Structure 1
Amino acid sequence: MLNVSRLFKHLFATSRQTKKYFSTLSLQQIESAIARSEIGHSGQIQVVIETSLSPYALFHHQSPRERAIEVFSLQKIWDTEHNNGVLIYLLMADQAIEIIADRGIHQLVGDGFWQTTCSKIEKQLRNGAFQEGVLAGIHEIDQILREFYPSKLITPNELSDQPVII
């Protein structure tokens, strides 16, 4: 059965609302944080912020997690050389955060780390600190990527550091 409340949240969510929480300056600061982070490891971090799901996705009861996995694939985060790409996905209409990690880093770290990191970001988001939450997530992911994938040489930037808004 279709959740009418969720449907209305998504139908009335606007990109203007998303831009209220993620200004141009905020997005630039997130991009800079990712770029600085990737100097210290060979991993790749991508931030994707989605305002709302399509009516089709809603009618098929797509969860934020399912959408994050789809976005992970669409953004080709799975295609990094060392299988160490990480997606931070925010679905604004549902106020949901998901972290999807490629198999290389996920096998080393396990579910617990990603769930704890999501919880830290969610706490910031609930307090209205959207930029701070994303930056905290980038910092946590940076630390674990530095531990398991330290950068010994300058590595190519396989994914854009710029946050994607869809």
Structure 2
Amino acid sequence: MNANQFIATIADQQVIQAIQSAEAQTSGELRVFVTDKFVEDPVSEAWKTFARLNMQDTAQRNAVLIFVGPKARKFAIVADEGIHHFCKEAFWNQLAHQLSEGFKAGDYTGSLVRLIEEIGRALAAHFPRLEADANELPNEVLRD
């Protein structure tokens, strides 16, 4: 599958619903970004995107970005310091492995949804939603 097919295959509405469902349980924020550019270093590009989207400005520093670069067949999951304090490298590596396996199997939307659900559970465990919580970041799937 080429990058354009990958991008077209992702069911935005299902991903958005997964983000909304996860965020209903937590003050944390999740975003998905898909680039049509070829990226050599997805982690570096993810952090640049994280900053460009002002994801570090959440009140509890608990935002997570899922960055996907289908042309390079690479992705990254980056998390702000609030959530990274609780969820260490092994957690993120396990999630990356699961997403990689799902992508290899061609289950792009399902893999993203399951990843969002897992991250949502981790966020909810450490940053449960409070009555006064507001959605700090948009939920749409971003593309460039």
Task: Bin the TM-score by the shorter chain.
Answer: over 0.9
Contact 1:89 1:98 in 2 (8 A): yes
- What is the correspondence of 1:16-95 to structure 2 with a 5 Å cutoff? 16-22=4-10, 26-53=11-38, 62-95=40-73
- Report the more deviating stretch, 37-46 or 107-116: 107-116
Aligned to 1:124: 102
* Count of aligned pairs: 143
Give the one of 115, 129, 134 matched to 1:156: 134
- CA deviations over 1:110-130 (Å, ceiling 9, x no partner): 111111111111110011111
Question: What is the TM-score with the length of structure 2 in the denominator?
Answer: 0.93
The one-letter code sitting in structure 2 at the alignment partner of 1:147 is A
Q: Using a 3 Å threshold, how does the CA distance of structure 1 residues 19 and 99 change in structure 2: closer, same or farther?
A: closer
Unaligned runs of 5+ in 2: none
1:105 aligns with 2:93: no
User: SS of the counterpart of 1:145?
Assistant: helix
- CA deviations over 1:43-80 (Å, ceiling 9, x no partner): 00000011223xxxx6xxx4111111111111111110
Greater Rg over alpha carbons, structure? 1
User: SS of the counterpart of 1:94?
Assistant: coil
Q: Comparing both structures, which one devotes a greater share of its residues to helix?
A: 1
The one-letter code sitting in structure 1 at the alignment partner of 2:5 is Q
Mapped to 2, the partners of 1:99 and 1:115 lie a distance apart of: 9
The one-letter code sitting in structure 2 at the alignment partner of 1:159 is L
- CA deviations over 1:7-34 (Å, ceiling 9, x no partner): xxxxxx76x4344322xxx101111110
RMSD across aligned positions (CA): 1.5
The one-letter code sitting in structure 2 at the alignment partner of 1:84 is N
User: SS of the counterpart of 2:75?
Assistant: strand
Structure with more contact order per residue of length (Cα contacts < 8 Å, sep ≥ 6)? 2
- CA deviations over 1:66-115 (Å, ceiling 9, x no partner): 11111111111111000000001111111112100000110111111111
- Offset of residue 154 of structure 1: 4.4
